[in-house]
Amino acid sequence: MITIDSLSKKYGAHTVVDDISFVARTGRVTGFLGPNGAGKSTSMRMMVGLTSPTSGSASILGRRFADLPNPGVEVGVMLDASAQHAGRTGREILTIAQRMMGLPAHRVAETLELVGLTETEADRRVGNFSLGMRQRLGVATALIGDPSVLILDEPANGLDPAGIRWMRDLLRGYANKGGTVLLSSHLLHEVEVIADDIVMIGNGKIVWQGSKTEVLGAAGTVARAPDMFALRRALEASGVQTSVTDDGAIRTDADSTRVGRAALAAGVALTELRTAHGGLEDMFLELTANTQRERKAA
Amino acid sequence: MTAITIDPAREERIAVPHVPLNRVIQVELRKMFDTRSGFWLMASIVIIALLTTVGVVAFAPDTDLTYYTFAKAIGFPMTVVLPMIAILSITGEWSQRSGLTTFTLVPHRDRIILAKTLSSVAVAVTSMLFAFAIGALGNVVGTAIAGTEMVWDVSLARGANIVLGSLLCLLTGTMLGMLFRSSAGALVAFFVYAFLLPTVSGVLASIQDRFRDLQPWVDFNYAQGALFSGTLTGEQWANVAVTTATWLVLPALLGLRLVMRSEVK
């Protein structure tokens, strides 16, 4: 479990992180979402003690990061996969981590296999690694100590579609086994797919937080029926505001349960009933509108 | 694929032992050798020691073929290479950004700096013992070739002074590494420290009588020089102590403060 309590970071008069509080819970993947420069990375660096906060605190497993006796075996951290000495081999970087944590030597080969780096790849110097390989190595460094908490900054960055799927399955499985995962991303779709809880940050402030179901519920529902007229009438009759989308479906702000019930009550067969697409995206753009660089275009 | 289990479901681990300092030292020592540049920097100590010994045997006049000549010839390049090793060991964490991992695995930067300093000292002492051994070999072989008598003119006390002088050079590197936290900046600063400042000080001393009297008390390099050329008087020891305090200890404390406070990005 990660507890962030009123964490702030100011550089002179400039506030980068402004009084954020949230909890990343055990057994769940928490997505830390925000546009570029919103303060995600600064917040994560404060969690692990690389940047000292101006005020507030962060605790991991109930303790300050610096008070963890052997942090590597309790918290896996990957802040920037490219931040490695380019002249070391992948295996050497992992070996350094293994030695520092005092783990048995066989963990290196096991972890390489876990993240899908081959023996030959691991013996290449990191300077020659592709971004995807660096990302896998970074995740390996985070996982080698078999920690119960993961803090990952943009873990999907640079991965190909198969790699993204792999990362998603890995983190999902990890949380399902009772681990805590906090990952940051500006890739909305990625977070929408993997996260259980979402913390949205814009301009250093938390603009929204809640579970993914809440985000999706808030996004509204899209429905279709062979008899669109009957469906719309049934929904309006049950007090649901409707509108017609560009491609002729009915969109409402109500959740899918309510729409389904209204259709059933009126005896209207549905051919499609789903959460409105781009729910998270719309919400994200709306909530972070005044922090976006592309304000005019949005 | 074999089933490799990750089992995160242990939130309350009981008594995870601390990362002991000797483990940090071992890892930091390993990190000095495990890159191509690091390896060749270390190898250069051996190579330079051998080359200078051969050079002394080949070119030094027969009357100068004494152990001290060998020790001095091998020792000088070391006073340049050792500080570089100390500098890069520290600045690499920032310049190569590996500190992001290092300082999260051990979230106590003073421990990392201590481990790095101790491993640099270990490398330096080993290198110097090696230099003394190569110098002795050169002395035996050189005098045999030249047919002159072997002269062992480095006493234990004198040898200890040379080791101390070299360690001060090395620690200057450690200090500059902490102060600058950038390989390029620290290396440039080292050359200013080791070559530019002594030259300026020398010129000043030659044109200004008042500065000449002051020089041993303000010129770190000048005061250190005494350690390499024999036994020291009480005043010379005082010179070493005063210049070390002002040019090494004080800036090192400032550097450590910067290391502790700076952001690692």
In a domain, B11, yes or no: no
Q: What is the pLDDT of residues A110-126, one digit of tens each?
A: 999 999 999 999 999 99
Measure CA of the first residue to CA of the last residue in chain A; give whole Å: 36
Q: What is the pLDDT of residue A295?
A: 52
The residue-averaged pLDDT of A253-271 equals 88
In a domain, B175, yes or no: yes
In a domain, B8, yes or no: no
ipTM for this model: 0.86
* Of the listed ranges A114-118, A170-174, A191-195, A212-216, the one predicted with least confidence: A212-216
Q: How far is B39 from chain A (nearest CA, A)?
A: 11
Strand partners, A11: A14
In a domain, B251, yes or no: yes
Q: What is the pLDDT of residue B46?
A: 87
Top-confidence residue, A278 or A155: A155
Q: What is the pLDDT of residue A205?
A: 93
List the 101-130 stretch of A: residues with Cβ below 8 A of B. 101-102, 110-111, 113-114
Which chain B residues touch A if contact means CB-CB below 8 Å? 1-2, 4, 6-13, 16-19, 23-24, 26-27, 30-31, 34-38, 92, 96-101, 103-108, 261, 263-265
Beta strands in chain A (DSSP E): 2-11, 14-24, 29-33, 55-60, 75-78, 149-153, 180-185, 197-202, 205-211, 221-224, 242-244, 250-252, 272-275
B104 and A50 within 8 Å at the Cβ level: the answer is yes
B19 and A101 within 8 Å at the Cβ level: the answer is yes
A77 and B108 within 8 Å at the Cβ level: the answer is no
A70 and B16 within 8 Å at the Cβ level: the answer is yes
Residue of A nearest to B19 (CA): A70
Nearest to B257 by CA among B109, B114, B112, B121: B109
Cα R_g (chain A), whole angstroms = 22
Per-residue pLDDT of chain B (265 residues; tens, 9 = 90+): 444 556 565 545 556 788 999 999 999 999 999 988 889 988 998 898 889 989 988 888 888 888 888 888 888 888 889 999 999 999 999 999 999 999 999 999 999 999 999 999 999 999 988 888 988 998 898 888 888 888 888 888 888 898 999 999 999 999 999 999 999 999 999 999 988 999 999 999 999 888 888 899 999 988 988 888 878 899 999 999 999 999 999 999 999 999 999 999 8
* Topology of domain A2-210, CATH: Rossmann fold (3.40.50)
Measure CA of the first residue to CA of the last residue in chain B; give whole Å: 36
Q: What is the pLDDT of residue B28?
A: 96
* Of the listed ranges A229-233, A246-250, B39-43, B117-121, the one predicted with least confidence: A246-250
3-class secondary structure, A212: helix
A83–B contact, CB cutoff 8 A: yes
The CA distances from residue A135 to A138, A157, A166, A266, B59, in Å, are: 5, 7, 12, 53, 55
In a domain, B241, yes or no: yes
Looking at the 3D structure of chain B, how many domains does it have? 1
Q: Is the pLDDT reported for residue A291 higher than 80?
A: no
Interface test with B, best of A3, A70, A115, A167 (most B CBs within 10 A): A70
Q: What is the pLDDT of residue B155?
A: 83
* Helices of type H across chain B: 21-33, 36-59, 67-95, 99-105, 109-146, 156-180, 183-191, 197-207, 209-218, 220-228, 234-244, 250-261
Name the amino acid, one letter, at A233.
Answer: R
Angle in degrees, 0-180, between the axes of helices A228-237 and A256-266, rounded to the nearest 10: 110
Q: What is the pLDDT of residue A292?
A: 62
A80–B contact, CB cutoff 8 A: yes
Q: Where along chain A do the CATH 3.30.70.100 domains lie?
A: 220-277
Contacts of B4 in chain A (CB under 8 A): 110-111, 113-114
Cα R_g (chain B), whole angstroms = 22
* A235, two tokens: 């929904």
A100 and B16 within 8 Å at the Cβ level: the answer is no
Contacts of A102 in chain B (CB under 8 A): 17, 19, 23
Q: Is the pLDDT reported for residue A10 higher than 80?
A: yes
Residue of B nearest to A180 (CA): B8
**Span A220-277: which CATH code?**
3.30.70.100
* A159, two tokens: 């991965």
B107 and A149 within 8 Å at the Cβ level: the answer is no
In a domain, B95, yes or no: yes
Q: In this structure, are residues A63 and B104 in contact, taking their beta carbons and an 8 Å threshold?
A: no
Residue of B nearest to A110 (CA): B4
Size of interface A-B (CB pairs under 8 A): 133
Range of the domain at B224: 21-256
Query: Which residues make Cβ contacts (< 8 Å) with residue A210, sequence separation at least 6?
Result: A197, A198
Contacts of B264 in chain A (CB under 8 A): 45, 50-51
B24 and A100 within 8 Å at the Cβ level: the answer is yes
* B152, two tokens: 């062992």
Binned at pLDDT 50, 70 and 90, residue A220 comes out as confident
Contacts of B90 in chain A (CB under 8 A): none
Residue of A nearest to B112 (CA): A100
Q: Where along chain A do the CATH 3.40.50.300 domains lie?
A: 2-210
* B251, two tokens: 């800036």
Q: Is the pLDDT reported for residue A279 higher than 60?
A: yes
Sheet with A75-78: list strands edge to edge. A75-78, A149-153, A180-185, A29-33, A197-202, A205-211
Q: Is the pLDDT reported for residue A298 higher than 60?
A: no
Burial class (CB in 10 A: 0-12, 13-18, 19+), A247: exposed
CA distance A72 to B19: 10
CA angle B73-B79-B80, nearest 5°? Answer: 105
Contacts of A92 in chain B (CB under 8 A): 34
What is the 8-class DSSP label of residue A39? S
Query: Which residues make Cβ contacts (< 8 Å) with residue B135, sequence separation at least 6?
Result: B53, B67, B70, B71, B73, B74
Q: What is the pLDDT of residues A37-94, one digit of tens each?
A: 889 999 999 999 999 999 999 999 999 999 999 999 999 999 999 999 999 999 999 9
What is the 8-class DSSP label of residue A125? B
Q: What pTM was computed for the model? A: 0.87
Distance of CA B151 to the CA centre of its chain: 28
Residue A92: enclosing H or E segment and its boundaries?
A: helix A90-101
**DSSP result, A233-298:** HHHHHTT--EEE-TTS-EEESS-HHHHHHHHHHHTPPPSEEEEPTTHHHHHHHHHTGGG-TTTTT-
B8 and A68 within 8 Å at the Cβ level: the answer is no
* Strand A2-11 to A14-24 pairing: antiparallel
Q: What is the pLDDT of residues B189-205, one digit of tens each?
A: 999 998 899 999 999 99
Name the amino acid, one letter, at B48.
Answer: I
Contacts of B98 in chain A (CB under 8 A): 83-85
CA distance B148 to B186: 44
Q: What is the mean pLDDT of chain A?
A: 90
In a domain, B61, yes or no: yes
The shortest CB-CB distance from B8 to any of A70, A141, A147 is to A147
